[in-house]
Amino acid sequence: FGLARVLRLGGESVGCRVYIRRIQKEERGTLGRGRGLEGALDGLLECVFDLVLDDREGVVIEDALGTVPRDTPRTEAYSHGGYALAIAGAEWSIAVLFAVVATGLGGRLERLAGKITRHVRWKVTVYAVLFGLLTFALALPLSAYSGFVREKAYGFANQTFAAWLGDAAKALAVGLILQAALFTVIYMAIRRFGRRWWIAGSALGIGGLVLVVAIGPVFIAPLFNDFEPLEDAELRRDILALANAQ
């Protein structure tokens, strides 16, 4: 789009300056762990649209950015490849679930869970953990390619593979805890309410989602990102001004 033209169009655009500085810090490797570039780019793109289209007046500024260049072959390859990977990931997940049922692997996992514990509720919890480990292991090659190899090749990641694998392991641990809790609670609802279990299950599911959203920024996000006081006083002032303007 041309950042200079965007800034001239918006004048003293606080929003654009915030995102541009975030991108610059990300390129220098000083923002988080290399995972903020995509968010900063998305924010800058949204800022550009806000500049081009005045939502309050409903007026489109003609030719605000001049001639918008076509996507480069590299950009198109990244986008189209992402679509293909999303479809492949969904198909792989369906295939894994079908294989678990068709091959009797689900039954073997159930028997293994029964050997670990005889308590019915804990058996469901153990089964959920075993099932989560199985699906993670089967999806790991595709996840490693899409989340690390491909992002590294396109310059959107600066993590080492060990760091990426560490984040994947932490995500697995969080997912296993949440999945085991969800499976156990739903099973308890089925036993308690019979055919009306879905009412209690839906309420518990919504409550659990609200809880995860509430604790996510405090307990989960710090597992994957480093949060430190912002030392750039000017950038901090711009961010606060942007927040106060909303």
> What average pLDDT does the segment 21-43 reach?
57
Predicted model pTM:
0.66
Question: Which tokens in the block code for residue 98?
Answer: 């079908």
Backbone angles phi, psi at 155, to 5 degrees: 80, 20
245/5 Cα distance (integer angstroms):
23
Percent of the chain with pLDDT over 90: 35
Say which amino acid occupies 59. Answer: V
Model confidence at 239: pLDDT above 90? no
pLDDT, tens digit, for every residue of 120-149?
889 999 999 999 999 999 999 999 999 999
Q: What is the pLDDT of residue 22?
A: 67
pLDDT, tens digit, for every residue of 195-222?
888 888 888 889 888 999 999 888 999 9
* 214 membership: H or E segment, kind and range: helix 197-215
213/58 Cα distance (integer angstroms):
34
> What average pLDDT does the segment 23-34 reach?
54
Chain-centre distance for alpha carbon 138: 20
Q: Number of H helices and number of E strands within the chain?
A: 10, 2
User: Within 10 Å of residue 171's Cβ, how many Cβ atoms?
Assistant: 16
Confidence of residue 38 (pLDDT cuts 50, 70, 90): low
Confidence of residue 10 (pLDDT cuts 50, 70, 90): very low
* Strand-pair partners of 59: 54
Say which amino acid occupies 119. Answer: H
